[in-house]
Amino acid sequence: MRVLLVEDDDDLRAVIAAGLREAGFAVDGADDWPEADVMLHVTAYDCVVLDRMLPSGDSLARLEDRRRAGWAVPVLCLTALDALDERLHGLESGADDYLAKPFAMRELVLRVRSLTRRAAERLPSFLSCADVVMDLARREVRRGGVLLSLSPKEYAVLQQLLVHRGGVVTRTALLEHCWDEMADPVSNVVDAVIAGVRRKLGSPPLVRTVRGQGFLMGAR
């Protein structure tokens, strides 16, 4: 899942981004709406974490304009304005959730995860291929009933392969969905994570490389 974090406090943005990445999210950061607008134009995000008061003003006006235009990406609004009227104003303006500063990182992660899960509710509760089963609610993967220990990045890549099982998933698609702007597109990060997924899934192998195209999940 890829998240856009819009926060003008550099230190806080770094802390939040690190916490979300540790939880398995790919995170891009912006310090104000003009930069965020450009990033939203070129990248499809699963969630936006939005500081309410930015250098260009109150974010709610921009959010309200986007909602009127049909923009449907889930938004978690962060703010020090925690009075009831302010929270209600945030929700009325199009925020899906509203979290007051200061907050616990664990709560932020759970709220973002909840928003991205609701946005992807078109997916079933379980994804499977052969004897591999992914429980999306519990974020667990089992093969033959045995629980596997996957890193957050391995889980994200495997989820994409399972969602598109039987079809080829390109390296570019995996980079765009599972990594953020910090990833080097010419590095072998995708291949390294795929290798880890294969190793942990064990035999018989289920993830195949389609030369010149990408990867395919499915029994031979």
Architecture of domain 2-119: 3-Layer(aba) Sandwich (3.40)
Architecture of domain 126-217: Orthogonal Bundle (1.10)
Least confident range of 12-21, 34-43, 144-153: 34-43
Assess whether pLDDT exceeds 90 at residue 17: yes
Domain ranges of the chain: 2-119, 126-217
Mean pLDDT along residues 95-105: 90
With b for 16 or more beta-carbon neighbours within 10 A and e for fewer, the 109-125 pattern comes to bebbbebbbebeeeeee
Assess whether pLDDT exceeds 90 at residue 196: yes
Mean pLDDT along residues 5-11: 94
pLDDT tens-digit map of 124-172? 678 899 999 998 778 899 999 999 999 888 998 998 899 888 888 888 8
Least confident range of 66-75, 127-136, 205-214: 66-75
Q: What's the pTM?
A: 0.62
Listed in sequence order, the residues at least 6 apart from 107 whose beta carbon sits closer than 8 Å to its beta carbon are: 99
Cα–Cα separations (whole angstroms), residue 117 to 75, 98, 170: 13, 17, 23
